[in-house]
Amino acid sequence: MRQVKHSEVLTVGVLVLLFAAAPFVTGDEGWLYLAALIMTWSIFALGYDISFGLTGLLSFGHAAFFGMGAYAASWAMLSAGLPFSVGIVAAIGAGGLSALVFGFVGRRVSGLYFSLMTLMLAELISIVMTTRLRHLSGGVDGLPGVPRPQAFGIDFFNAANFYWVIFALFCLTLAFCAVLKSSPLGQALRGVRQNAVRSEQVGFNVGALRLTALTLSGCLSGLAGALLASLMMYVSPQLLGWKMSGDVVIMTLLGGSGTPVGPVIGVTLVELLREGLSATTEHWYGLLGVIFILCTIYLPEGVAGLGRKLWRR
């Protein structure tokens, strides 16, 4: 089986163990919050990589799926008073549906035109949500008080307890991505990225495959958005902005797209950098830019690519 390499299984295993060990190593709420944030963004980046790394669709509009997921979950829990689990399902649905709409609108364009179209659609949603739909989105102030799960008498407002909810969904996402990648559908998506013309010629409906990939990617993005809203207990239209889309692209590329650990490593690097530097300098984002540029020149396959090279030696 060539799709699942031993090195990949090993690195994913180490990664999962590290996150599982965190609550036992530290009881510090700040560190647990950071680890939970990294897992949440990792779900987003892993979802993004279904579109980018697997299928070759460079989207600049994933913030829309992420943000709509966050809002769908918040509305379901805050306005309708539905339980957390329903909020999560609503978020997955909202993320997937937004992606389906994006994919349908962009079904005739590809390459850079597709990227720009996703950027514009996402900005459109962001602007409409901050202006016309201010009563729904809370405007620039956002909606405070997004709840966390209430079940089995466990206090999920305790950082450690909610950590395990995110950890479980993070593991499910990793498993989902691994299964997808080695499945016939995953192979077909790989084929579409490598050679869309040949894929069509051997009988694949390339348009439908691209739409499927973008929708799955949107579902995971929506899930991540809901978790972030619940983690921060707050949602705002900032989650829909282009900066979110940019961040997920940078994280995925920095870590290495097309691998199960790459996006997670990228997210970890960026979040640690933010954590370490944002307190000392407000220009930390500029430093990230420099690192990103150096990475694209010297590590085109990301940090995970560097790891692969060292592994082979």
Partner 1 sequence: MAALGSRSSSVLSCQNVSVRFGAFQAVNNVSIDLAAGQTLALIGPNGAGKTTFINAVSGRVSLAAGRIRLGDADITNVPVHRRAAAGLGRSFQIINIFDQMTVLENLRLAAQSRAFGWQPCWRPVSAWPALERRAREVAAMVGLEAELDLPVTMLSHGKQRAVELGLALIPDPKVLLLDEPLAGIGHSEIEPTMELLQQVRKGRSVLLVEHNMDVVDRIADEIVVMVGGEVLLRDRPSAIWNSAEVRRLYLGSEVAGHA
Task: Report the interface residues with partner 1, using CB under 8 A.
Answer: 1-4, 179-180, 182-188, 190-191, 194-195, 197-206
Amino acid identity of 188?
A
Supply the minimum distance, in Å, between the C-beta of residue 114 and partner 1. Answer: 19
Name beta bridge partners: 143. Answer: 235
Supply the minimum distance, in Å, between the C-beta of residue 194 and partner 1. Answer: 5
Supply the minimum distance, in Å, between the C-beta of residue 175 and partner 1. Answer: 10
Identity of the residue, 26 or 201, whose beta carbon is nearer to partner 1 in the bound complex = 201
Supply the minimum distance, in Å, between the C-beta of residue 284 and partner 1. Answer: 36
Identity of the residue, 194 or 278, whose beta carbon is nearer to partner 1 in the bound complex = 194
Q: How far is CA 19 from each of CA 11, 69, 167, 233, 275, rounded to the nearest angstrom? A: 13, 24, 7, 22, 17
Supply the minimum distance, in Å, between the C-beta of residue 190 and partner 1. Answer: 8
Token pair of 295, please? 């990475």
Identity of the residue, 36 or 216, whose beta carbon is nearer to partner 1 in the bound complex = 216
Identity of the residue, 183 or 281, whose beta carbon is nearer to partner 1 in the bound complex = 183
* Rg from Cα positions in the chain: 19
CB atoms within 10 A of CB 132: 10
In 260-301, which ranges are continuous DSSP H helix? 262-277, 284-298
Token pair of 95, please? 């993320």
Supply the minimum distance, in Å, between the C-beta of residue 198 and partner 1. Answer: 5
Identity of the residue, 130 or 212, whose beta carbon is nearer to partner 1 in the bound complex = 212
**Contact (CB, 8 A) for 3 and 181:** yes
Identity of the residue, 104 or 157, whose beta carbon is nearer to partner 1 in the bound complex = 104
